[in-house]
Amino acid sequence: MTLEGAKVECVCEVMPYSGGLQRNIVQCLEDFDIPLYLSCTVIEVHGTDRVTGVTIADVDEKMLPIPGTERYIECDTVLLSVGLIPENELSNQIGLEMDPITRGPKVNEMRETSHKGVFACGNVLQVHDLVDFVTQESQIAGKGAAQYIKGTTEPEYVTCKGINGVRYTVPQRINKNNPEEVKIYFRVANVYKDKRVVVTCNGKELWNRKKLKLAPGEMENVFIKPEDLATMNAGDEIVVSIEEA
């Protein structure tokens, strides 16, 4: 809008952090001197035939407006962003098992859903930061579909979950007999600084890395080695968590 000649007064984000990529904040807001107000929301839109302004206010930890923080901004346009969910209409129609957090299908490491022979990837499966991730995921799903057509042995699954600030993981289950390294994608529920991402199974630590910053808008990933998978039993649980550094 700025490049087309509009004057953007501000961006209000009700959360105490931005859900967008840091590079987008820099390139789309900071580079054009557009203020970003965190823990802030629009509480009233003014005008009848068209918008004449808005009243914004800071919010508390329950996202309720804080009295006395109201500010009036004159404007003629208000754009609303209400979040993203996967394109899940077809997934629901055919009765796939869905993840309540991602709002997309639950899948294994090859992106096969709860229906054998049905694979999901890209923005059908989860909301991605970058198109590069969508491409990588499509290649995984394509390989999985090819293996399914050729016929493989019955898989033995271990499950995956996130705790201590990890909102979800994709995939939600992994074939312990997979001969290749498996990447687990995840998102965190808040902004964390100077923490460690730790992956365990049956009390054994499989992966541990220090992260200077973790944010909900940035998709993260960890790797599970095939030799670690081979030591697991069907039904075991891989846990991804945020720990103190």
For β-strands 157-163 and 173-175, DSSP reports them as: antiparallel
- Residue 151 confidence class, pLDDT cut points 50, 70, 90: confident
Say if residue 192's pLDDT is above 80: yes
Average pLDDT over residues 136-150: 94
Query: Which amino acid is residue 242, in one-letter code?
Result: I
pLDDT in tens, 43-89: 999 999 999 999 999 999 999 999 999 999 999 999 998 888 899 99
| Long-range contacts from 117-122, C-beta under 8 angstroms, 24+ separation | 117/145, 117/148, 118/94, 119/144, 119/145, 119/148, 120/91, 120/96
For residue 109, report the phi and psi dihedrals to the nearest 5 degrees: -65, -20
- Which whole number is the average pLDDT over 29-36? 96
pTM above 0.75, yes or no: yes
Single-letter amino acid, residue 191:
V
Q: Lowest-confidence range among 8-12, 71-75, 157-161, 217-221? A: 217-221
pLDDT of residue 80: 93
Triad 206, 179, 97: Cα angle to 5°: 80
First to last CA, the chain: 42
Determine the 3-state secondary structure of 23 from DSSP. helix
Higher pLDDT: 20 or 61? It is 61
Least confident range of 113-127, 143-157, 200-214:
143-157
Please compute the mean of the pLDDT values over residues 228-239 and round it to a whole number. Answer: 95
Q: Which single residue is written with the structure tokens 């087309």?
A: 4
Tell me what pLDDT residue 82 has: 84
Closest listed residue to residue 119, CA positions, set 103, 100, 104: 104
User: Which pLDDT band, with edges at 50, 70 and 90, does 129 fall under?
Assistant: confident
Q: Which residue has the higher pLDDT, 23 or 166?
A: 166
Q: What is the pLDDT of residue 130?
A: 85
Share of the chain above pLDDT 70, in %: 99
The per-residue pLDDT for 217 is 86
Report whether pLDDT(98) > 80.
yes
Q: Across the chain, what does the average pLDDT equal? A: 94
Nearest CA to 157 out of 181, 177, 175 is that of 175
